[in-house]
């Protein structure tokens, strides 16, 4: 029997890590390992029960290697089954640790979606990485659902690619700290079932 197209069948859940100090101040956090704030820990604890309510099918939990993602998964009560470099955040190169206003002092109108990241990762590379991650997740959906615990920009890029849009269209999708989005199907078409769902502790 083919997998169900119902809201409870064949789902990929994207979970962004909880708040960090760098995220609070809008600093681009790619390679740097930073820990959750108290609020971030609260967000992670509260998202666990919220995701339990999704009644996922024996979910495969894959997590970015960054500490903030690992902490979020653990505090949410998820059983981590794989840590995967492919889920790491966008590599911002020389812009690591900088805010957008700071970067725009050098490059007016800069965004990660529309401009290069010198010595970092470009949109074409992120596109390739997204498609790899989604291909692996999709391959599991006959038997089980998948939870991908990662980061803000990369999760938004994953949503864009799932919707068959260019990575640059990730700018259309917000992704708050401690929030999750659910990807699935309707009559065979890939769709975003729910998006940027936050719990009481999120902001």
| 115 is annotated as an active-site residue | no
Residue indicated by tokens 């840590």: 83
Q: Which of 17, 28, 151, 153 is catalytic?
A: 17
Q: Which of 41, 71, 89, 121 is catalytic?
A: 89
Asked whether residue 114 is marked as a ligand-binding residue, the answer is no
Say whether 92 counts as a known binding-site residue.
yes
Strands in 146-150's sheet, in edge-to-edge order, are 82-83, 60-63, 146-150, 12-16, 180-186, 189-197
Instruction: Return phi, psi of residue 80, to 5°.
Output: -70, 125
Q: Whole-angstrom Cα distance, residue 203 to residue 70?
A: 20
30 annotated ligand-binding residue: yes
Q: Flag whether 91 is marked binding.
A: yes
- Asked if residue 71 belongs to a known ligand binding site, the reply is no
35 in active site: no
Q: Which of 186, 125, 183, 119 is nearest to 154 (CA)?
A: 125
- Round to whole Å and give the CA distance between 2 and 85: 31
- Measure the CA–CA gap between 47 and 201, rounded to whole angstroms: 9
- Angstrom distance (rounded) from CA 14 to CA 157: 11
35-67: b (≥16 Cβ within 10 Å) or e:
ebbebbbbbbbbbbebbeebebbebbbbbbebe
Alpha-helical (H) ranges within the chain are: 21-24, 38-52, 67-75, 100-104, 123-139, 152-162
Question: Which residue ranges make up the annotated binding site?
Answer: 29-30, 68, 89-92
User: Which residues carry out catalysis?
Assistant: 17, 89
Question: Which residue ranges make up the annotated binding site for substrate?
Answer: 29-30, 68, 89-92
């Amino acid at each position: 029997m083919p997998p169900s197209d119902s809201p409870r069948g064949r789902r990929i859940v994207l979970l962004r890590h909880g708040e960090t100090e760098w995220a609070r101040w809008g600093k681009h956090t790619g390679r740097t390992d930073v820990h959750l704030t108290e609020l971030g820990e609260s967000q992670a604890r509260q998202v666990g029960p919220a995701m339990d309510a999704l009644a996922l099918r024996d979910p495969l939990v894959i997590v970015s290697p960054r500490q903030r993602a690992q902490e979020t998964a653990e505090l949410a009560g998820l059983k981590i089954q794989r840590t995967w470099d492919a889920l790491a955040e966008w590599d911002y190169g020389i812009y690591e640790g900088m805010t957008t206003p700071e970067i725009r002092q050098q490059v007016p109108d800069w965004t990660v979606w529309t401009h290069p990241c010198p010595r970092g990762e470009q949109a074409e590379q992120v596109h390739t990485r997204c498609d790899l991650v989604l291909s692996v997740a999709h391959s599991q959906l006959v038997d089980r659902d998948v939870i991908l615990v990662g980061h803000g920009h990369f999760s938004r890029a994953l949503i864009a690619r799932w919707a068959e849009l260019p990575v640059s269209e990730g700018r259309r999708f917000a992704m708050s700290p401690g929030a999750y989005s659910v990807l699935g199907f309707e009559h065979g078409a890939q769709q975003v079932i729910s998006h940027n769902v936050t719990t009481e502790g999120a902001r």
